[in-house]
A and B are shown apart, each in its own frame.
Chain A
Amino acid sequence: MASLCKVMLNVSSRSSLLPKQCVFATVRSLYSSDASGGDDKPPERPKSGFAAAYNLHSDLQHIGERRMMSPKEEKSFQALLRQSALLQMGPAKDKIAIGKIFHIVNDDLYVDFGGKFHCVCKRPAVDGEKYQRGIRVRLRLEDLELTSRFLGATTDTTLLEAEGTLLGLLEGKTKE
């Protein structure tokens, strides 16, 4: 059996044809089929080493899961994140997004498009008075957060704003 193991391992190290998991699975199945016919299980003895650590950590996991007792099906954070629009979008450079104007100061429009920060755009010359609070607009994103590391600083300085160019009102909403 040991010689068989050595042969399999040498095979896997020299040639990359067989994936490693495959090799070990076959080895493990060989061992288990051998052991079942062989000597009976030793009596229950106190666990040590890896087994003890595993029990301890599974208890901690149960404590963490105690709030998940609601009957309705909940998606995990990983699943929510992976399917979120922000991740599906990829890099923000030159992506078109739809935002809503939530604040106006004279000619500055504060547009929220669903990211962490809003972006501030100048009121365009064409159809200027149509841009009021609550209007949805199309914008091309440049950056989700404007940050830069200045000379002599330990962390980046952030402007707490995103950057984008206003393309126009949302089509289908403009009244002619």
Chain B
Amino acid sequence: MSQSVLWEVVKGNNAFLVKRNGLTLSTDPFNNTGVQTYSSTGFITKNAIGVVPTQSKVNQINNVNLVARKSTKFQQVDRKTKNTQSVYASTLSVKHGIHTASRVIRKRFGTRRLGLQKAALRKLVKLNRANAVRRRNEIAATKAQKK
């Protein structure tokens, strides 16, 4: 289904839409900017990458997952995939490092859609940094405890 048609259906009302303080925002996992616009709404496209934090506790970003939108064509599921069988996304955990993740993003977008690419990378970096800060604090706390 084309993005334009889907946008017309979805822009007025969808499960990810949040309107607050005169802003039109989106909780779409494939939207890296947070604002609902035609180009940034990833779940209606064929090839979006969402940078999604994984949390074990509230306000704790353990890790970052990349959620890649699969083609909307009907999947032939007899293929054995490592990823959990999912109709709309395959996930890549970013445990291996931020460089592999950024590579995945760059490869997916290529030279196109620089704005979206930058948004994804920006979010990746921010989440990673938040994670690093948290872990640093954790380590400091455990050290202090030991003393």
Task: State yes or no: do A and B come from one complex.
Answer: no
Chain A residues at the B interface, C-beta cutoff of 8 Å: none
